[in-house]
Chain A
Amino acid sequence: MSAKAIERSLWALFAAFMIAVPWIIPALISSFWVSVIAEILIWSLLAASVNLLFGYVGLLSFGQALYFGFGMYGVAIGIQDLGLSFWPAFALGIVASMTMALVTGIFAVRLTWHYFAIITVVFSLIFYFLALTNKWLTGGDDGINFALPPTINIGGFNKSLTDPIFQYFFVLCTAALCFLLMHRLVGSPLGKAFLAIRDNDMRARLIGLNVYLLRLIAFVLSGFLAGVAGGLFAFFGRYASATYMFYHVSGEAVVWAIVGGAGTLLGPLIGTTLFIIVREIVSTHWEHHSLIVGTVAILAVMFAPKGMVGLWNDFISRIAERSGAPVGAVELRTEP
C-alpha cells in the first residue's frame, strides 16, 4: 500500500469514528468521554491558533489565551449583559477576539522571535490583570455564569446545546470547519507566502512580499481561531472567567502544538488529544496527575522532536518503503 492510500483510508476511518462517537463511546466506556472529546476539539483550536503563527509563519506567541478569553467574554457578556441570542453572541465573541488581535498585532508583529514571544505575554498579562480588576464587567476570578439560549429556534423546532449529542455535533462541525479553512489557507497563495516568511523573512521581503502585513493577517487569523475556541468553550461550560486568560493557558497550547507537530494541520489536534486524555485518565485515579503530564512533555521532545506527526510520518514512510511503493508525497516537512 502506498503512503497516500494509507493516509486516505485513515482519514475515512477517522471521519467515521468522529461521527459515530456519541453512540460508540457511551456503549464502550461512558458518556462522560463524549464531552471529553468535545473539549479536546475545542482546545485543539487554541493549539491550532498557536500552530498557525508558529508552524506556518514562524512567530511564537505566548499570548493566545488573551484571544481565547475575549472569545469567552464576548459570548458571556453578549448573552448575560446585552441579552443577545446564540449566534449574535458567538459572532460578538469572534469579532471581539479578532479586533483585539488586530489592535495588539499592529504592535506585536513589528517584533520577532524572543521579542514577539515576550510582547504577546505582556499584552495577555495586561488584559488578564484588567479582567481581574474590572469585576463589574468580567466577574474577575469568579467569572460570569449564563443560561444557554437555544441554538436553533425556527417555528416549533428548538435545539440547544443542553442536548449533549447536539452539543457534540455542534463542536465537531465548528472544529472541522476551522480545520478545513486552515487546510485551504495553507494551500492558498497566502499560505505559501506565510511559509516563505517562516523559512526566510529577508528573502520573502526581497521577492516583494509585504512581510509586516502578512504577519498581521496571520495574527488576526490566529485570533479568529482562538476566538472560536473561546466562544465554544464558553458555550460548553456556560461560563467565562479571567483565569483562562492567564499565560499558563497559552503555554499549554504551545506545548500541545509542538508535541503534536508544529507546521502540520493535525499536529495540534493530536497533541491536545494526547495531553487531555492523559490528564483525564490519570486525574480520576491520582490527584497529582501533573507529574505525568510533565513527564510526557519531556519524553515527547526527547523521543519525538518533530512531534507526534513527525513520528508518524517516519513510520508511514518506513512501511511504504518496505512494500516497495515510492516514498514522498507524505506530508511536507514538519519542523519550522
Chain B
Amino acid sequence: MEKLFLLAMNGLIWGLIIALIALGLAIIFGLLDIINLAHGDFFMVGTVLAWATLQSTGSFWLAFIVAPFIGFILGALIQQVVIQPIRNTAMLSIVATFGLSLILQESVRITYGPTPGRILPPIQSTIHLFGVDYEVYRLFAAVVAILALGGFFLFLQHTKLGTWMRAVRHDREIAVAMGIPAGRVYILTFAIGFALAALGGVVAAPITTVDFRGGVDILPFCFMAVIIGGLGNLPGTAAAAVLLAFVEGVIQSVTDPTVARIASLVLMSAVLLLRPQGLFKGLTR
C-alpha cells in the first residue's frame, strides 16, 4: 500500500512536470505547425542550465529564473534562424528539428560532458505522509508545476499577447488583417515553448539525472500527451500528461518499470485507435 502511494505520487508529480513540457510542444505544434523533435532536448537544456546555475552561483533557486529566461532567448533565436524559413512545412520541420536536436545534444556533451550527473534536492527534508517518508522537494516541484501551468493558462486567456496567440492559431489570415503582428507572435510562441520546457527541466533536475540524452525518453511521452489530449486542446494535453504518468506510476507498484512502460504504451495505442480525436473531445463544454 505504501509502495502504491509512493509510486502513484511520484507518477502524479512527474506528470505535472511533463504537462509543462508537453504544453510547450502543443503550442509550437498548434500555432506553427512544427513537429518539434528537439523539444525533449529543450527540457534537457533546462536540466543542464539548472546544474550550471548551481555550479556558478551556488544557488539552485536562481535557476528557476535563469533557465526559462535563457530558454526564452534561445527559443526566439532558433525560431528566427531555423524555423522561420521552413514554417508551415511540417515535413521539413521534422528534419530541421532533428538536426537541432543533434546540435543541442552535442553542444551539451561538449560543454557539460558525457557522463550523467545528479543534483541534490535543495530541500533535503522528508515529510511523513500516509505511512511513507515523502521527499518535500517533490511536493515543492508539484506546486511549482501547478503554478506555472496556471500562470500559463491565465496568460493565454487574460493578456493581450495570449489573446494574440490564440487568435493567430485560430485564424491566421483574419488575425493579420486585424493588425496582429503574426511574425512576432510566432517568435513569442516558440520562445515560450522553449521556456516552458526549460522550466520543466529545472523542476525535474533534482528528481532525475542531468544527462545530454535526458530528452530522448521525454519526447515520445510528450507527443503522446499532445495527441491523447487532443490536438489543439491545451488543457487536454496537460490532463493527458498527468493521467499517463499517474497510470504508469500505479502500474509500477506491481511490476518493474519497463513492464509498466510497456503497459502504458499499449494503453496509449488503444486510446489512439479508439479515440483518435483525443480522450477529452466532447467532454468539455
Contact = CB atoms under 8 A, between A and B. Distances in A.
Interface stretch (A166-174, A204-212, A290-298): A290-298
Interface centre among A252, A255, A301 (most CB of B within 10 A): A301
A126 B102 contact: no
A126 B262 contact: yes
B129 interface: no
Given A125-B220, A291-B106, A111 B100 contact: no
Contacts of B102: 290-291, 293-294, 297
Interface in A289-329: 290-291, 293-298, 300-302, 305
Nearest to A293: B102
B26 to A, nearest CB: 12
Interface in B175-200: none
Contact of A251 (B37, B107, B269): B37
Contact of A300 (B82, B95, B100, B109): B95
Interface in A232-266: 247-248, 251-252, 254-255, 258-259, 262
A107 interface: yes
A133 interface: yes
B134 interface: no
Contacts of A126: 262, 265-266, 269
A122 B265 contact: yes
Interface string B77-107: 0000010011001011011101111110111
Given A111-B273, A294-B106, A259 B258 contact: no
Interface string A269-299: 0000000000000000000101101111110
B235 interface: no
Given A123-B269, A247-B220, A258 B227 contact: no
A233 to B, nearest CB: 21
B86 A290 contact: no
B78 to A, nearest CB: 10
Contact of B258 (A132, A288, A297): A132
B220 A122 contact: yes
Contact of B91 (A125, A262, A293): A262
B261 interface: yes
Given A121-B223, A133-B259, A294-B102, A115 B95 contact: no
Contacts of A248: 216
A258 B94 contact: yes
Contacts of A302: 85-86, 96
A297 B265 contact: no
A126 B263 CA distance: 8
B108 to A, nearest CB: 11
A110 interface: yes
Contacts of A296: 99
A258 B100 contact: no
B231 interface: yes
Nearest to B38: A294
Interface residues of A, number: 41
Contact of A295 (B37, B91, B103, B216): B103
A130 interface: yes
Contacts of B276: 111, 115
Interface residues of B, number: 40
Q: What is the interface of chain B mostly: helix, strand, loop, or mixed?
A: helix
B224 A294 contact: no
B273 A110 contact: yes
Nearest to B259: A133
A203 interface: no
Contacts of B98: 251-252, 254-255, 294, 297
A101 B137 CA distance: 45
A262 B94 CA distance: 13
B95 A122 contact: no
Contacts of B94: 60, 254-255, 258
A288 B265 CA distance: 33
Contacts of B216: 248
Given A294-B100, A298-B100, A129 B227 contact: no
A111 B102 CA distance: 29
A301 B96 CA distance: 7
Contact of A301 (B92, B107, B109): B92
Contact of B99 (A110, A111, A294, A336): A294
Nearest to A289: B106
Interface in B36-91: 37, 82, 85-86, 89, 91
Contacts of A305: 86, 89, 92
A248 B219 CA distance: 11
Contacts of A178: none
Contact of A118 (B95, B107, B224, B261): B224
Interface string B18-46: 00000000000000000101000000000
Interface of A: 60, 107, 110-111, 114-115, 117-119, 121-123, 125-126, 129-130, 132-133, 247-248, 251-252, 254-255, 258-259, 262, 288, 290-291, 293-298, 300-302, 305, 336
Nearest 7 A-B pairs (CB), nearest first? A297-B99, A294-B102, A294-B103, A294-B99, A290-B106, A298-B99, A301-B92
5 contacts: A119-B272, A294-B99, A294-B100, A301-B86, A302-B85
